């Protein structure tokens, strides 16, 4: 039976693709198993091994189903310790599907775009082929290289929130192949040319596991050190025409095969992820620890809802038959799920990478029509304020991660004020992508809003914008 290898064995995979794969096995009577690869989470790997790959998905909130035992992951590897075994799993003829959830960071994009960052130290080291690879891109390419020996078909399925994720994955692998010695580079390209890299849209809110998750699972009589909490909602749209090899029949478990994946990806990034980021940054600036608390504030909700409905929705082609009003209402119901305890700092982390996927193309749509999207400017200003100013977030956070924080802080130190900082960060340094570098009317507005956020408590600006 053909197998799946998954790179990025985090909570999202365990509550999403693994669940679909198990359900597809049950419906079709097949037995496709997953080799789960964590890049560096040693504790998770040890715990999952001790449980022979088995774990629990705990749905929380209204309409939650009973805890689900997932037993489809039957091999667990840690890339940091076992790179050779990971490459062997990727290269195995029996492996016909490789899925990935490595987050925006895992693609080693150059800041602000979809090109491989040729200065990334991990990428440069891996491309010498002098030692086993350490990066997701390096591991995948090494797997493809080894597959040149047999040429069995394989598909590489990105399941990250990146626009045109399949095409983006193919592009970084092609650019990586160009860094390799000529013979190896050519072999990787040959295997990649024959491989499928379908675009996908993935959706399920999966917060961090907490003690409350463990307690709830234990109360249900299940012993599990690494359960995963998740909302009841789940969606997966795949471009069926992008596959070349046998794969689990995920559609029998509710995944949607569609020729309109691109439209679904835009719906997800702009109508769900962007307002989610907005609640995260406005929430962080007004002392909210959880997304549900931010969404329950009528002013924050009004602003996020206007960003979604008035500013994002007009910029995208909706999939045929798509009910935008119902989607919009459902998005806020999902954000309001208090039991999820989804942290504003979790959604607010890695903002430079996430916002690049979620915001600039929509801004470009507006400025091309002569308008400046006010709420999107507020979102970017709020991200800048959170990133640049140590005094902006007053609630305790445990890990609000931002790869360009030092960069933004040194730009802030050198800037003559908020307007200058907005231009230095968004135009000169292109920290949110090239689309914004020429949208100076938008960047001016970001500067003005940032000035306001620095001068007054954030709640005052939020209140006046929400009520105007």
Greatest extent of the chain over all pairs of C-alpha atoms, in Å: 66
**In 79-170, which ranges are E strands?**
95-100, 155-158
Nearest to ligand CS2 of 109, 176 (CB atom): 109
Q: Helix, strand, or coil here: 421?
A: helix
Give the nearest distance from C-beta 369 to ligand CS2 in angstroms. Answer: 27
Shortest gap between Cβ of 279 and ligand CS2 (angstroms)? 9
- CB nearer ligand CS2, residue 267 or residue 450: 267
- Residue 270 or 439: the one with the smaller Cβ distance to ligand CS2 is 270
Minimum distance of ligand CS2 from residue 334's CB (angstroms):
8
Radius of gyration for the alpha carbons in the chain, expressed in angstroms and rounded: 22
Question: In a 10 Å sphere around its CB, with 0-12 CB exposed, 13-18 middle and 19+ buried, how is residue 22 labelled?
Answer: buried
Rounded distance between C-alpha atoms, residue 226 and residue 95, angstroms: 26
* Closest by Cα among 110, 274, 125, 273 to 203: 273
Tell me whether residue 205 or residue 411 sits nearer to ligand CS2 (CB atom): 205
Do 445 and 374 contact (CB within 8 A), yes or no?
yes
Nearest CB to ligand CS2, comparing residues 76 and 285: 285
Shortest distance, position 272 Cβ to ligand CS2, whole Å: 6
Of the CA atoms within 13 Å of residue 187, those in its CB half-sphere come to 15
Closest-CA residue to 21 (of 12, 11, 33): 33
Q: Is 121 exposed, middle or buried (0-12, 13-18, 19+ CB in 10 A)?
A: exposed
Instruction: Supply the minimum distance, in Å, between the C-beta of residue 153 and ligand CS2.
Output: 29
Contacts to ligand CS2 by CB under 6 A: 161, 203-205, 273, 276, 346-347, 354
Q: Which is nearer to ligand CS2, 33 or 354 (CB)?
A: 354
Tell me, what DSSP letter sits at residue 312? I
Give whichever of 75 and 350 is closer to ligand CS2, judged by the CB atom: 350
CB of 347 to ligand CS2, least distance (A): 4
């Amino acid at each position: 039976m053909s197998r799946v290898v998954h790179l990025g064995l985090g909570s999202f995979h365990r509550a999403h693709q693994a669940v679909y794969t198990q359900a597809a096995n049950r419906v079709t009577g097949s037995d496709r198993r997953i080799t789960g690869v964590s890049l560096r989470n040693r504790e998770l790997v040890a715990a999952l091994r001790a449980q022979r790959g088995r774990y629990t998905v705990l749905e929380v909130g209204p309409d939650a189903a009973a805890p689900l035992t997932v037993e489809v992951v039957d091999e667990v590897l840690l890339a940091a310790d076992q790179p050779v075994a990971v490459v062997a799993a990727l290269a195995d003829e029996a492996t016909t599907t490789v899925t990935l959830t490595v987050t925006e960071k895992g693609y080693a994009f150059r800041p602000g775009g979809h090109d491989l960052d040729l200065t990334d130290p991990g990428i440069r080291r891996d491309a010498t082929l002098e030692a086993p690879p350490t990066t997701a891109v390096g591991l995948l390419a090494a797997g493809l290289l080894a597959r040149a020996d047999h040429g069995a078909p394989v598909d590489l399925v990105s399941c990250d929130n990146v626009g045109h994720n399949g095409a983006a994955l193919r592009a970084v692998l092609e650019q990586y192949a160009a860094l390799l010695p000529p013979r190896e580079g050519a072999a990787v390209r040959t295997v990649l040319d024959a491989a499928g890299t379908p675009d996908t849209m993935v959706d399920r809110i999966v917060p961090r596991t907490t003690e409350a998750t463990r307690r709830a699972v234990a109360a249900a009589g299940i012993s599990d050190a690494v359960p995963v909490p998740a909302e009841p909602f789940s969606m997966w749209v795949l471009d069926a025409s992008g596959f070349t090899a046998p794969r689990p029949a995920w559609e029998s478990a509710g995944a949607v095969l569609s020729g309109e994946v691109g439209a679904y990806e835009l719906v997800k990034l702009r109508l769900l992820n962007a307002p989610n980021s907005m609640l995260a940054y406005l929430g962080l600036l007004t002392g909210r620890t959880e997304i549900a608390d931010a969404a329950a504030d009528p002013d924050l909700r009004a602003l996020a809802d206007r960003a979604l409905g008035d500013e994002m929705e007009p910029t995208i082609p909706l999939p045929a038959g798509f009910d935008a009003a119902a989607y919009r209402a459902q998005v806020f119901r999902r954000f309001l799920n208090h039991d999820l305890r989804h942290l504003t700092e979790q959604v607010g982390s890695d903002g430079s990478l996430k916002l690049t996927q979620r915001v600039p193309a929509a801004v470009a749509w507006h400025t091309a029509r002569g308008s400046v999207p006010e709420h999107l400017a507020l979102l970017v200003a709020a991200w800048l304020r959170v990133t640049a100013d140590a005094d902006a977030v007053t609630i305790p956070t445990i890990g609000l991660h931002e790869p360009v924080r030092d960069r933004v802080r040194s730009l802030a130190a050198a800037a003559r004020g908020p307007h200058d900082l907005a231009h230095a960060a968004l135009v000169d340094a292109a920290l949110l992508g090239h689309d914004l570098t020429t949208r100076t009317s938008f960047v001016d507005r970001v500067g003005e809003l940032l000035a306001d956020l620095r001068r007054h408590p954030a709640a005052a600006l939020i209140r006046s914008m929400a009520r105007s």
